[in-house]
C-alpha cells in the first residue's frame, strides 16, 4: 500500500495544511492525478499522486496542518477500502445531557479552527446545495457554531440582489449608525482568541446590530476592519508641563505623557479597552477588560515590538516613564522577556520623532484599538481671532469597527484631547 506524505513544496516549508481533498476514500486514483490541495507558507499547491490505485483512507482531513513527511493518506488496491468515512477531524460533539442552562463561561473558548468538518444542519446543507451557497463562507449561529437553515437563507438573500450593497455602516465619524444593512452572515474570519490579555470584567454577546456591522465590516475588510479617526490637539500646555517636569531632572517624553493620557481616556471610554471574542456557544462577543494595559510600540533595527505597561491608568507619570524607558532599552538589547510583551489591551505607537504628521496604525489582535501619535509641530493657529504660533499634534485612532463605531472613537479622542490640552490631570 502506498503512503501519501506531506510533500516539501518550497524551500522554506516545514509544514503544510491540507486545503481540501479532491479525491475521496474509495475513489480511483491514477498516477499524476491531483488528489488534494496543499497550503504552504507561500501558496496553495496541487498534490499529485505518484501511485495508481484506490484512495483507501484520508488520514489528515482538510484544514489540518502537519509537518512535511507525515502520512496524509493511503493508496492501495481497494482491498481494504473503507466505506468512505468522511474525513472527519473530530466527531461532532455528542449532544449534552439536558443539564440546566449555564451562563456563558467567562473565559472565551476559541472555536475550532478545523474546517475539515463544518458543522451544518442537514436542512442547511440541503438548502445550501439548492441555492449554490458555499458553506465555508457562512457563519453559523447554532450550537457550537453549527450552520443552520436561516444562516444559509440570510447569506443567499444578501448575496441575491446584485444591486450595489446597501450602505453598510456610516462612514467614519460622529453620527450614530443608521439602521444597518440586513443582518448578513458573511464569513468574518473567526476572531482569533489568543490568551485573554488581562482579567476580563465581563463578556457580553454582540447585539444584533453589532453583529450585522461586524459582518458587513468583515465583508469589506477581512480580518480586523479598521476605522480611522484623527484629531488635532493643541499641546502648548503639554509642552510647557513637560519642560517644567524635565527641569527637575527627570526625562519625561511626549510619548510618556500621551500614553498616560491615553490610559486615562480609556477609563472614560472603556468600550475601546476590549476585545472581540468568540464565546463558548460560538457566538461573537465582546470581552471588556478590567485592567488597562498599554502596549507601547518600540522600533527596533529589524522590526517592532510593543512592551506592555500594566495598569497604565494607575501609575504615576514617573513610574510609567521609567518602565517604558527600561523595557525599550532591554528590547533594543534583545533582552525583553516574553511576559513584558503579553497582555496589552490597547496600543500607542509614535512616529513623531520622524516628523510624521499623522498616520494610521494597525490594530494588534485581539485589541480593539490603536493610537498613532504624530509629531509636535509649530503652526500658525487661530486663537481669539488672532493668528498666533501654536504647537499642535495629530492623533489618529484605529478602532475595530466590528466592536465600535466612529462615534465612540471620536468620543475617545475628544476625552484624550481634553486631558492633553489641560494636562495637569496627567500628574494625578
Q: Checking DSSP bridges between strand 294-296 and strand 346-350, what pairing results, if any?
A: parallel
What sign for the dihedral angle of Cα 274, 275, 276, 281? Answer: negative
Residue for grid cell 509629531 = 375
- Asked if 142 is part of the footprint of other proteins (rule: CB under 8 A), the reply reads yes
Nearest approach, Cβ of residue 227 and other proteins (Å): 25
Half-sphere exposure at residue 384, Cβ-oriented, CA atoms within 13 angstroms: 2
Binders of other proteins in range 363-382 (CB under 8 A) = none
Instruction: Determine if 414 is a binding residue for other proteins (CB under 8 A).
Output: no
Task: Provide, rounded to whole angstroms, the least separation between the CB of residue 93 and other proteins.
Answer: 11
Measure the CA–CA gap between 144 and 120, rounded to whole angstroms.
10
Q: Is 401 a catalytic residue?
A: yes
Q: Which three cell numbers stand for residue 266?
A: 480609556
Which CB atom, from 232 or from 281, has the smaller least distance to other proteins? 281
Residue 150 is a binding residue for other proteins (CB under 8 A): yes
Q: Is 332 in the site for other proteins (CB under 8 A)?
A: no
Question: In three state form, how does the secondary structure of 85-139 look?
Answer: CCCCCCCCCCCCCCCCCCCCCCCCCCCCCCCCCCCECHHHHHHHHHHCCCHHHCC
Instruction: Find cell 443582518 and name the residue.
Output: 183
CB of 100 to other proteins, least distance (A): 8
Q: Which of residues 98 and 334 has its CB atom nearest to other proteins in the complex?
A: 98
Contact call for residue 135 and other proteins (CB under 8 A): no
Estimate the crossing angle of helix 254-268 against helix 317-332, to 10 degrees.
120
Q: Which residues contact 75 (CB under 8 A, 6 or more apart)?
A: 1, 2, 3, 4, 29, 49, 51, 52, 53, 54, 55, 56
Candidates 143, 223, 270, 390: give the one binding other proteins (CB under 8 A). Answer: 143
Comparing CB distances to other proteins, the nearer of 122 and 355 is 122
Please, which of residues 93-132 interact with other proteins by CB under 8 A? 95, 98, 101, 121-126
Binding mask 206-225 for other proteins (x = CB under 8 A): --x-----------------
Cβ proximity to other proteins, 284 vs 298, nearer residue: 284
Instruction: Tell which positions 245-284 bind other proteins, by CB under 8 A.
Output: 281-282
Instruction: Please give the residue ranges that form the binding site for other proteins (CB under 8 A).
Output: 95, 98, 101, 121-126, 140-143, 146, 148-150, 208, 281-282
Active site residues: 401
Amino acid at each position: 500500500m502506498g503512503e501519501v506524505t506531506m510533500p516539501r513544496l518550497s524551500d522554506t516549508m516545514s509544514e503544510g495544511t491540507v486545503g481540501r481533498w479532491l479525491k475521496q476514500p474509495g475513489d480511483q486514483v491514477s498516477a499524476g492525478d491531483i488528489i488534494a490541495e496543499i497550503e504552504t507558507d507561500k501558496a496553495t499547491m496541487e498534490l499529485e499522486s505518484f501511485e495508481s490505485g484506490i484512495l483507501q483512507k484520508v488520514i489528515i482531513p482538510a484544514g489540518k496542518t502537519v509537518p512535511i513527511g507525515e502520512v496524509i493518506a493511503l493508496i492501495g488496491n481497494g482491498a481494504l477500502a473503507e466505506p468512505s468515512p468522511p474525513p472527519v477531524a473530530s466527531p461532532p460533539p455528542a449532544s449534552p445531557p439536558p443539564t440546566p442552562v449555564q451562563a456563558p463561561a467567562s473565559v472565551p473558548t476559541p472555536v475550532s479552527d478545523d474546517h475539515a468538518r463544518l458543522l451544518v444542519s442537514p436542512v442547511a446543507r440541503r438548502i445550501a446545495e439548492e441555492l449554490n451557497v458555499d458553506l465555508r463562507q457562512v457563519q453559523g449561529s447554532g450550537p457550537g457554531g453549527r450552520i443552520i437553515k436561516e444562516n444559509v437563507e440570510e447569506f443567499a438573500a444578501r448575496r441575491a440582489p446584485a444591486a450595489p450593497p446597501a450602505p453598510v455602516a456610516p462612514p467614519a465619524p460622529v453620527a450614530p449608525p443608521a439602521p444597518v444593512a440586513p443582518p448578513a452572515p458573511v464569513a468574518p474570519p473567526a476572531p482569533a482568541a489568543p490568551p485573554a490579555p488581562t482579567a476580563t470584567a465581563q463578556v457580553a454577546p454582540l447585539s444584533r446590530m453589532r453583529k450585522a456591522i461586524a459582518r458587513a465590516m468583515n465583508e469589506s475588510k477581512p480580518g480586523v476592519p479598521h476605522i480611522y479617526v484623527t484629531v488635532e490637539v493643541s499641546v502648548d500646555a503639554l509642552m510647557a508641563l513637560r519642560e517644567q517636569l524635565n527641569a527637575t531632572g527627570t526625562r519625561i517624553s511626549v510619548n510618556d505623557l500621551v500614553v498616560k493620557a491615553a490610559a486615562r481616556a480609556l477609563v472614560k471610554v472603556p468600550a475601546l479597552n476590549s476585545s472581540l471574542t468568540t464565546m463558548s456557544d460560538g457566538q461573537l462577543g465582546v470581552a471588556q477588560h478590567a485592567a488597562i494595559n498599554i502596549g507601547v510600540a518600540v522600533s527596533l533595527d529589524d522590526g517592532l515590538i510593543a512592551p506592555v505597561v500594566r495598569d497604565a491608568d494607575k501609575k504615576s507619570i514617573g513610574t510609567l516613564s521609567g518602565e517604558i524607558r527600561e523595557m525599550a532599552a532591554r528590547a533594543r538589547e534583545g533582552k525583553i522577556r516574553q511576559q513584558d510583551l503579553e497582555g496589552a489591551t490597547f496600543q500607542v505607537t509614535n512616529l513623531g520623532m520622524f516628523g510624521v504628521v499623522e498616520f494610521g496604525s494597525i490594530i494588534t489582535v485581539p485589541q480593539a484599538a490603536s493610537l498613532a501619535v504624530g509629531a509636535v509641530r509649530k503652526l500658525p493657529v487661530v486663537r481669539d481671532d488672532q493668528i498666533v504660533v501654536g504647537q499642535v499634534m495629530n492623533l489618529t485612532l484605529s478602532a475595530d469597527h466590528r466592536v465600535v463605531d466612529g462615534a465612540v472613537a471620536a468620543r475617545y479622542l475628544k476625552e484624550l484631547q481634553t486631558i492633553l490640552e489641560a494636562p495637569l490631570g496627567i500628574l494625578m
